[in-house]
Structure formats: C-alpha cells, structure tokens
Amino acid sequence: MKQKCQELLITLALSLLGLPAAWAIEEPVQLTSGQVSGVELESGVKVFRGIPFAAPPVGDLRWQPPQPVIEWSGVLVADSYGPICMQQRTTALMSEDCLYLNVWTKAKSRDEKKPVMVWIHGGGWSSGASVNLGSSSTAITGTYDGEAFADNGVILVSANYRMNSFGFMAHPALSAESEHGVSGNYGILDHIAALEWVRDNIEAFGGDPNNVTIFGESAGGASIYALLATPMAKGLFHKAISESTWITHDNVTHLTRNNGLSESAESRGQRAVSAKLSELGHSAKGDLLAKMRALSAQDILNLQLQVSLIEDGWVYPKSAAEIFAEGSQTAVPLIAGINNGEGLLFVRGPRAITTVAEQRRAREAEFGEFAGNLMDYYVADSDAEALSVEVDYNTDSWFARSTRELVQAMARTPANSFMYVFTRNLDDPTARSPHAMELRYVFDELPADASAVDQDIAQLMNNYWTQFAATGNPNGPGLPPWPSYNLETQQHQIIGAELGQGAFLLREQLDELDRYIRDRYNSAK
C-alpha cells in the first residue's frame, strides 16, 4: 500500500511538471561516483534525470576545464532535470552549477549492450539545454525527450554544457593561468567529460560503451564537427550525426592572432572584460583573474563576446578545417545534412533584407575584395526575389557549406558517410523547411493532431537514426534505400513528404563559398 501511494504521488508530481506518468525504480544503479535511482515510464522506458557528470564549475573552477564529479553517499534520486547552464533566455531553472545529464533506457539488465546515442543541443553555443525549454521560464517540454529513442532500441543520453562567456571565453590572463597556456573551448571540454562519463558508466544502464553515437543540431552539429576534429575525443565515440552544422567565418578563431577570418579569441575576450570592468568602475590592473571571477553571473552573461571554436594548440593543435583537410580527424561513420530552408529562421522581422540595393550593400561590405563570383549568387535580380535570395544565402553560407565540408572530409576516410536534405515544414507543408524543423521528427515528438504524412516521416527519421546508431548504416529492413556519399557521385537522400535522391548539392555556390573562405584564411598567412 505504501509503495502504491508513493507511485501515485510521483505520478501526480510529474504530471504537474508536464512529464509522463512514471513510478520510482526500486533497484539503484551503481555508478563510479555513487548510486542513482530513476523512474520508469508507462512505456517501460526508465529515465534518470539530473545526474552530475563533473564538479560544479563555480568559484575557482569558473573558466577551468571540467573537473571529476564529486562522489556522493547513499542513493541519488534522479527524478528531475538538473539546472540549465547560464544564458540570457530565461531566469529560472538556471545555475552555473549545470553539468548534469539524463539517461533514457529500456534495457532490463546491464548485459544487453544496447547502442548508445549522446545528444548535444543547439542554441548558437549561447543558449539551450539538454531538454528543451518551454515558453515559460519554468516549463520544460519534451522536444529533446529520449523516450522514443529508448523505445526504438537505443539508450539516449543528453547533457548540458557551458555556453556563451562561461563556455567560450578566452583571455590572456586565463591562458597564463592554464597549465597548457590556453583558454576557451570549455564547452567542448564539457562534451568530452560527458563522453568520458558515458564510457565509464553507460554499461550500468545496459549500454555498450563501444558503440556510442554522438549527434547534435545547429551549434550541437557544430559540436559534432568540433568533436570529430579534436584528438582529445578519439575513442570516446564510434559514429556521428550532424544536423545543420553551424560553422561560419565568425565562429572559428585562433587563440592569439587574426586568422584571416576574424580577430583572435583572446582579443575578443580582453575587450569584452575590459569594457565590463570599466562599466562597473573597476580597473583592469592588479589581480585581474580575481576581478573576473568576482563578476556576477549576470555581468558575465552581459559581456559582449562573440563565441567561437578556438584553435588553441591544445584542444585543437591546428584549425579544425586544416585537421579535416589533412584527414587526421576521427574517422567514423557519419550522417550529415541540412534543411532546405534553414535561412527562413534568420531573415524575419527587422533582420529581413527586402531590396536589391540593401542586399548588394550587405554583400559588398561582407565580401570586400574576396567577393569573386559570390555577388552573382547572393544578390537578387529584383526586389521581389530579395527575401528568397537572403534565405538562400543564410542557408548556404551558414549550414550547407560547412555540412558539405564535413561530409566530404569524412568521405575521404574508409568510414561510410551519408548526406540528407530535409524538406518538410510541419507548420506550412507548402513552404521550405526552416532551421531546427527536423528535430520534431527526429525525436518523434509531433503534436497529437499531426497528419499521417508527418507521423510517417517522424517514424522514418527515428528509424534511420537508430539503425545507424546500431550498425553505422541507416539502411535496414523496411527502410527506403539511402545511398552512401562519395566524392564521385555526391548523392544525398531527400527526406520529406516525398523521398528520393539528389546529387552535387548546390555545387557551384558552395564551391565559390569555399573559395571565399580559403582566400580569407590564406590572406593572414
């Protein structure tokens, strides 16, 4: 009777939080840091929410690589999500102490050795969380809920990581303090710490530490790009899925010098910190590190800092692009792709360019002497076409170019690569698919009134992703054939209301964008 009452109370509490009905798991799981218990959903999926995977990065550990998790005694009740990492987007459920992860599993014993998928969220390396935030500051929605994946035969792990100025701050004073002489890339190091936790603990949940797939979208896709490039992550994963990789000339920097694409990361950080200290009436002289760590979390959030992946000589001995070009990245099977209307999300409202004259000025200011033939592709012939061309430019320059760079680099390795273009728009089936639209389908989290077409697409994508996690190939029984990507044919899968294959995605435009990036980079050598 007591157990039934406890289950009822848990179910009631979860319903109030908008979470699925569940009951407590009586048998705790033994981790390297202590014991943990979770809850079991009606589907039979067990979920463990808010497990720490590193020490709280606070106080003297602010702007330090993640440190080992602090062991605990007794049983940690993992029935609620941990705090999200600091960001401007919300004021609730947020803390610097945010290095927590979640596990969904349907394994009945630790001997099952199920494939493991590790989800890395997007948000421009500035916002987001391992579970998607709702519209209110206290709500959590199920957009990144792992139940569908677990129900489809894999174990899903999602983890927070430090972002914005907490996760990507470089500064000469921080570099001087470091035993490696570097700073920044803390968010990437958090990914690595989470993967090390998976290696050491996932077997206890019935997972296979030798069959781990990393996947992410937008900045999460850029994190996949980053993890493939860094030698520090080698051996921690065995397959990768990159959705809408977000790598531009603005978010790749060198630690100490202009790389032809942007000024140094340390210069960015030094300017941001100096401006904030001056605003607060403080000098940048004296014990600068102490003054930086004395800044409030809100002051750090308000720093005017452009985040970036940093070529620092440690996490990245060379630029990520050079690592891929020379073939020294981690060679594992890859899925990578884009939505056909990514840029729709970024050209709305006051940011929209609606005239040819305005568009031409913007392109001339950006491209300068390196423009080449880019004006032919990304300046419209008429005002009526300007907005559509702007969508094209944002789609191609931010996502398609970097995705092709990634898949072509991986196609030069012995591992299989697969490319896709997603075309479905849930909100308007007649329109192109904007940035992040595919997530509703990948996680099979559509509204209850979704059409049969949308439900079929969601099931297909979840099946492709889980089949790939299990075997390194999305093809399997009952699934539409998906050709592998190679440099000769350059085929990709079209996924939407209609399925098919295309080839040589946006070849002329992307070749010219590649040339532009290469010329900018070489100009600094």
**Residue-level pLDDT at 331:** 97
Given 130, 218, 264, 267, which residue is catalytic?
Answer: 218
Q: Which of 101, 90, 12 is nearest to 52 (CA)?
A: 101
Given 311, 435, 438, 512, which residue is catalytic?
Answer: 435
**Residue-level pLDDT at 503:** 97
**Residue-level pLDDT at 3:** 40
Query: Which H helix or E strand runs over 141?
Result: none
- Let me know if 435 is a catalytic residue: yes
Which residue type is seen at 443?
A: F
Tell me how far apart the alpha carbons of residues 422 and 141 are, in angstroms, rounded to a whole number. 23
CA 77 to chain centre: 27
- The tokens for 49 are 């929410």
Tell me how far apart the alpha carbons of residues 52 and 180 are, in angstroms, rounded to a whole number. 26
Q: Which of 192, 182, 411, 165 is nearest to 300 (CA)?
A: 165
The Cα-based distances of 124 to 102, 113, 221 in angstroms read 21, 34, 10
- Let me know if 369 is a catalytic residue: no
DSSP state letters, 316-375 = -SS-HHHHHHHT-S----EEEEEETTGGGGGS-GGG---SHHHHHHHHHHHHGGG-TTHH
CATH assignment, 349-525: 3.40.50.1820
**Residue-level pLDDT at 349:** 73
**Residue-level pLDDT at 23:** 52
Q: Is the dihedral of CA 288, 289, 294, 298 positive or negative?
A: positive
Strands (DSSP E) found in 356-461: 417-422
Residue pointed to by tokens 């299989």? 416
**Under a CB-based contact definition with an 8 Å cutoff, are residues 233 and 195 in contact?**
yes
Query: Which H helix or E strand runs over 18?
Result: none
Q: Parallel, antiparallel, or unpaired: how do β-strands 114-120 and 207-217 relate?
A: parallel
Domain ranges of the chain: 349-525
User: Coil, strand or helix: which one is 189?
Assistant: helix
Query: Which H helix or E strand runs over 131?
Result: none
**Residue-level pLDDT at 131:** 81
Given 147, 243, 266, 342, which residue is catalytic?
Answer: 342
The model's pLDDT over 411-461, given as tens digits with 9 standing for 90+, comes to 999 999 999 999 999 999 999 999 999 999 999 989 999 999 999 999 999
pLDDT tens, N- to C-terminus, the chain (525 residues): 334 344 434 343 444 444 444 555 668 999 999 999 999 999 999 999 999 999 999 999 999 999 999 999 999 999 999 999 999 876 568 899 999 999 999 999 989 999 999 999 999 999 999 986 654 444 444 468 999 999 999 999 999 999 999 999 999 999 999 999 999 999 999 999 999 999 999 999 999 999 999 999 999 999 999 999 999 999 999 999 999 998 876 678 999 999 877 899 999 999 999 999 999 998 878 889 999 999 999 999 999 999 999 999 999 999 998 899 999 999 999 999 999 999 999 987 777 888 999 999 999 999 999 999 999 999 999 999 999 999 999 999 999 999 999 999 999 999 999 999 999 999 999 999 999 999 999 999 899 999 999 999 999 999 999 999 999 999 999 999 999 999 999 999 999 999 999 999 999 999 999 999 889 878 876
Bridge partners of residue 216, in order along the sequence: 120, 242
Which residue type is seen at 345?
A: L
Q: Which of 237, 153, 247, 243 is nearest to 440 (CA)?
A: 243
**Under a CB-based contact definition with an 8 Å cutoff, are residues 118 and 157 in contact?**
yes
Looking from the CA of 418 toward its CB, the CA atoms found within 13 Å total: 25
- Let me know if 366 is a catalytic residue: no
CA 416 to chain centre: 22
The Cα-based distances of 321 to 248, 309, 430, 487 in angstroms read 11, 11, 36, 18
- Whether the model pTM is above 0.85: yes
Q: Is the dihedral of CA 500, 506, 511, 517 positive or negative?
A: negative
Query: How big is the CA angle at 161 (ends 159 and 165), to the nearest 5 degrees?
Result: 165
